[in-house]
Structure 1
């Protein structure tokens, strides 16, 4: 049984690696896409952003649907949609078709991500075994960012940009093929709760539409702010419309017979704080990968592949540290490990920022602080995931998975938009040249360190969630698999 659950975890963690890798790999391929399809900078931004918008917008809905229709079914459907959309992207003849394919990829990724995380919660009971499983999940996710940059450069240079989409098709098909053997034996042994009569008939359609529309518009506003600016009319209109829809969603949830997000779930202090902390973690960490890669390429003149390899030592430390996080939590407690993780990230980012210089090198400026970040990153990610999911009932695993994934995704998008804007603004005021660009990256990384420092202080408010105090699942949910 342990071996079978290990195989299931390998499948789910590999899916997480694929989804993170896909976010990073396309950034390396964008220049080749633009040259081949004759797409300008604005069109290329949509190739990247269409995925982020639908991925962020559909996560919450996907998590809740997984609880209703079955986690394994949605997991397989998400991978199938991701693979099919990737095949369409590989054969896209113009930028419009490619953007449409990227948007469908995001929907598929949202379904697969929410279901995969929920399946980890179902297969591994709260406590040390779940902590270890989440550590493995975080380890492969951390590896995906660096591998995406490296593989993007290798594939684009050797086989062309279409091969980056073909990779998704091959890996997605392999994961789908392995799903019955990896998941069916262990899921068949799990208890299942029958769906309440009318669960799907009374599905909260109004809540689903307003939540998905609101989150998608907010995601659009955030990614658009990076290129058009925070005061652009389109950015402001999209953000305002998104907020209006989310306000309508909140009102609908108070009246719905079977709400998409039961109010009792959001009333849990540990879950609320853990989602805030997860967003802050991504606001600091996700842009760091992007900024360091730009520093290595733009300031130190490293090739894209070499710049990606520069992040590999950090990823190796993440892979080595993440599986040990559960033991640290068992020995020292959830909050001390979480606080230490955020403190390490904050200190390392300050160290990294102050080390950047136009005449530096990877070994003298990036290596040592990035290794320290590699230690702190899994401590942060595993503990926030543990805190967010500790009170999830059997029929809520998809929902809490959707919530924590949404927080992380929006933290990534918001952090990238803010820190890139900070770097660009400081570079403009400092003047042209490598020194000005390095100064812009330095300022942005210090801002990211401030997010991590704020999270460090907020961890002091965390109270260990009690599984016994969890609200019972609403009658509309079930775990049909």
Structure 2
């Protein structure tokens, strides 16, 4: 089967200044990540107004996350095939329309369907924003700083979600949690359509079988992992979709090896930088979930904060993350990726070890603020570095799929970690349950999660020496002494 593919994206003319291109990419990433968390505070109001069951209500969140993570690879390759600007515009349009439909929904089915469409729009947007940065900014200092800004936008989007959700729900209505995206999306659409000229098109084969097996495999795997929130790992609701996902992904790899124009070219993994960086991003998903999700649960369930107060409690960490991420990308070319990653992992270990000592009698300033700031420093050092490494040294024609792969690794790692951590926390809390001290039992479960996260950080640090010190495809010549430094030097 054939499809339309743009000419070399690197030759696509730009009609806007670099800062505006970066602002657009960051705004899109902010909006996509924001919608993962902004809904949580509004869920009780949604349930009351639309009559959701407890099981159905979970799909207001899961429907978005499932399609967002499951379709990321397909979105990345589609950006390469049809053009990064076209996919950015299409993703913005779908995301905005789905947000409008969600805000106006009057039945549970309509709201869940709109959230699924939002997730699909997000899966089109996220890889395209990475690809735009990779192509628009030359490798070196400019691209490193652009990745820092992009990473910060996503991190802030996740943090602002809880606060914005509470403000919009209490001040206006839960519907504005979705409707707020519509005017923002329209402005971004206008900017996106004016920034870059559409590239010339040519015909090229489309890996339809790979698209089906890869997307279905990821979606099935993530769906099965999600079911562990309410069912045991060996349950018929958990294992069949997980096994089906593994089988489909195995078929996907076989297909990608044999077709002439694969959706995800396996040659990408011959680039050690891409392979190792994605492996670390898979592990990093466990760090992000432990920090942003489980520290919030600790504040709500153990310290008895409201969801809004917990979001505000994480705000200092979000600010530190943004500042450190910008600093890290400025240092990336001087220090190299390994130094920043190992330093960040040291912050993870120290922060999570400190956080694991907190209990029901702890105070925010002494037992939560300090360790979360430490972990936020680590995230600011590690996340933009890994994203820059995972997308470095690839051809412009693969920028979309490489961006989709990096996003998928982080999302899948986070989904798996969430399921594993939740099971570990519940098991430990049940073992330590006491009618006289139920909050201490919960705290012991979260302490185990933070301890596991520290172990994950040590694993990332142990893997980091596998990153090459120079770009794999550049031969060593006398001219190397005068070449611009890369992020891996």
Shift of 1:195: 5.3
Give the 3-state SS of the residue equivalent to 1:463 in structure 2: coil
51, 61, 64: which one pairs with 2:64? Answer: 51
Shift of 1:125: 1.2
Give the Cα separation in 2 of the matches to 1:290 and 1:367.
Answer: 15
Q: Which runs of 5+ in 2 are unaligned?
A: 1-13, 476-489
Deviations 1:256-297 (A, max 9, x none): 111111221122121111001011111122232111112212
Task: Please show how residues 367-382 of structure 1 align to structure 2 within 5 Å.
Answer: 367-382=369-384
- TM-score by length of structure 2 reads 0.90
Q: Which residue of 2 aligns with 1:167?
A: 180
Equivalent pairs counted in the alignment come to 459
Task: Please show how residues 114-125 of structure 1 align to structure 2 within 5 Å.
Answer: 114-125=127-138
Match status 1:31 vs 2:5 = no
CA contact (8 A) 1:29 1:152 kept: yes
Which of 21-30 and 308-317 deviates more? 21-30
| Two-structure CA RMSD over aligned residues (Å) | 1.8
Deviations 1:146-177 (A, max 9, x none): 11010011111121211101112222222112
Task: Please show how residues 174-185 of structure 1 align to structure 2 within 5 Å.
Answer: 174-181=187-194, 183-184=195-196
Give the Cα separation in 2 of the matches to 1:343 and 1:281.
Answer: 14
> Residues 353 and 2 from structure 1, CA distance in 2 versus in 1: closer, same or farther, beyond 3 angstroms?
farther
Deviations 1:398-435 (A, max 9, x none): 01001101101111111111112211111111115111
- TM-score by length of structure 1 reads 0.92
Q: Which residue of 1 aligns with 2:6?
A: none
Give the 3-state SS of the residue equivalent to 2:230 in structure 1: helix
Q: Which residue of 1 aligns with 2:463?
A: 458
Give the 3-state SS of the residue equivalent to 1:233 in structure 2: coil
Which of 258-267 and 209-218 deviates more? 258-267
Give the Cα separation in 2 of the matches to 1:263 and 1:375.
Answer: 34
Q: Which residue of 2 aligns with 1:409?
A: 411
CA contact (8 A) 1:228 1:235 kept: yes
Q: Which residue of 2 aligns with 1:441?
A: 446
Give the Cα separation in 2 of the matches to 1:462 and 1:347.
Answer: 24
Which of 293-302 and 70-79 deviates more? 293-302
Q: Which residue of 2 aligns with 1:430?
A: 432
Give the Cα separation in 1 of the matches to 2:424 and 2:116.
Answer: 28
Give the Cα separation in 2 of the matches to 1:302 and 1:382.
Answer: 31
CA contact (8 A) 1:270 1:465 kept: no
Give the Cα separation in 2 of the matches to 1:15 and 1:449.
Answer: 31
Give the Cα separation in 1 of the matches to 2:182 and 2:420.
Answer: 33
Q: Which residue of 2 aligns with 1:476?
A: none
Shift of 1:36: 1.8
Q: Which residue of 1 aligns with 2:7?
A: none
CA contact (8 A) 2:387 2:406 kept: yes
Q: Which residue of 1 aligns with 2:312?
A: 309
CA contact (8 A) 1:342 1:376 kept: yes
Shift of 1:233: 0.6
